[in-house]
Amino acid sequence: MSGADTTSNLTKAAGLPESFHAGRFAGKVVMVTGAAQGIGWSVARRIAAEGGDLVLVDRAPLLHEVAEGLRAHSAHALSVTADLETYEGALAAVAAAKDEFGRIDVLINNVGGTIWAKPYEHYTPQEIQKEIQRSLFPTLWMCRAAFEMMITAGGGTIVNVSSVATRGMNRVPYAAAKGGVKAITSALAMEGAPHGIRVVATAPGGTEAPERQVKRGPAPQGEQEQAWYQAIVDQTVDSTLLKRYGTLDEQSAPIVFLASDEASYITGATLAVAGGDLG
């Protein structure tokens, strides 16, 4: 099967636009975390369609079905289930990539997401810790686990996924975690530059996506919790200039651009992808 045919089949299978760049990631090994659903799912399909070899990481077994679907359309996709909230899980993911491909050229850190939605005074200490553990540590651990390999290889690219919710309603612990992701990006870019390593990030806004098959947390219960969640939705839309949520394609395309060689003169920056909301 030709490269053009492979790209066309991947496009049709994933419902992606025809306008992305065939061959842009040819010869590249790209690791995508949180790849079983949502933005990570969309990024993985774009990378596959653009010719990259993939290492997909998630703690949900659903990930293996995603990889199998890509392999059915001639993509080279390794799936690794790991808990990236632990350093041991991050090390295991990197080791699997090294065993399969010998290196990681691009690391896309996508794991994270709000678990609860409520005013800060209603969070328990345990819930605060879980939010930080969920949305900060996977990026912190993965950067640590992959950085030495990239230094040894003489270069690489890390794309982190932060959020414009660093200024938002009813998500203070999540905002703190994603603010930390932005700080990792700017600080690690300074350390990575002498080694030929770029570190960049996007900050997504509200994003429309199919209902998650694996939930991040409990659905809002009762009128009060539903009202707190609705306040997030209303504030998210009101804060955008375009007055709407984005799509998965609108989030994954900037991530894939920043991961590519086309963005070779961009490092240390976080790009808001939120319809004009800068966070």
Mark out the alpha helices in 193-266 (DSSP H runs): 222-239, 248-259
Report pLDDT for 211. 81
pTM of this structure: 0.92
Contacts 24+ apart (CB under 8 A), 70-76: 70/10, 70/44, 70/45, 72/13, 73/6, 73/9, 73/10, 73/13, 73/48, 74/1, 74/6, 74/9, 74/10, 75/6, 75/10, 75/48
Share of the chain above pLDDT 70, in %: 91
Report pLDDT for 85. 98
Range of the domain at 204: 3-273
Residue labelled with tokens 């319809």: 275
Q: Is the pLDDT of residue 3 over 50?
A: no
- Three-class secondary structure of residue 210 per DSSP: coil
Give the number of domains in the chain.
1
Q: Is the pLDDT of residue 117 over 90?
A: yes
Q: Is the pLDDT of residue 237 over 80?
A: yes
pLDDT in tens, 145-181: 999 999 999 999 999 999 999 999 999 999 999 999 9
Q: Is the pLDDT of residue 13 over 60?
A: no
Positions of E strands within 72-153: 77-81, 106-109
Query: Contact at 8 Å (CB) between 72 and 45?
Result: no
Share of the chain above pLDDT 90, in %: 86
Report pLDDT for 226. 95
Res. 73 pLDDT band, cuts 50 70 90:
confident
Of the candidates 87, 123, 174, 245, the residue annotated as catalytic is 174
For residue 78, list its beta bridge partners.
55
The tokens describing 75, both together, are: 């993509």
Res. 1 pLDDT band, cuts 50 70 90:
very low
Within a domain: residue 279?
no
Report pLDDT for 209. 85
Q: Is the pLDDT of residue 2 over 70?
A: no
Q: Is the pLDDT of residue 187 over 80?
A: yes
Distance from C-alpha of 190 to C-alpha of 221, rounded to nearest angstrom: 44
The tokens describing 48, both together, are: 């596959």
Within a domain: residue 29?
yes
Within a domain: residue 27?
yes
Arithmetic mean of pLDDT, 180-202: 98
Average pLDDT, the chain: 93
CATH number, position 178: 3.40.50.720
C-alpha torsion 122→217→203→57, nearest 10: 150
Res. 215 pLDDT band, cuts 50 70 90:
low
Arithmetic mean of pLDDT, 221-229: 93
Within a domain: residue 138?
yes
Res. 5 pLDDT band, cuts 50 70 90:
low
Distance from C-alpha of 128 to C-alpha of 95, rounded to nearest angstrom: 31
C-alpha torsion 112→39→214→67, nearest 10: -120
Within a domain: residue 95?
yes
Q: Is the pLDDT of residue 17 over 50?
A: no
Within a domain: residue 260?
yes
Within a domain: residue 112?
yes
pLDDT in tens, 127-142: 999 999 999 999 999 9
Report pLDDT for 213. 72
Within a domain: residue 240?
yes
For residue 200, list its beta bridge partners.
159
Measuring CA to CA, which residue among 129, 37, 134 is closest to residue 85? 134
Active site residue 174: yes
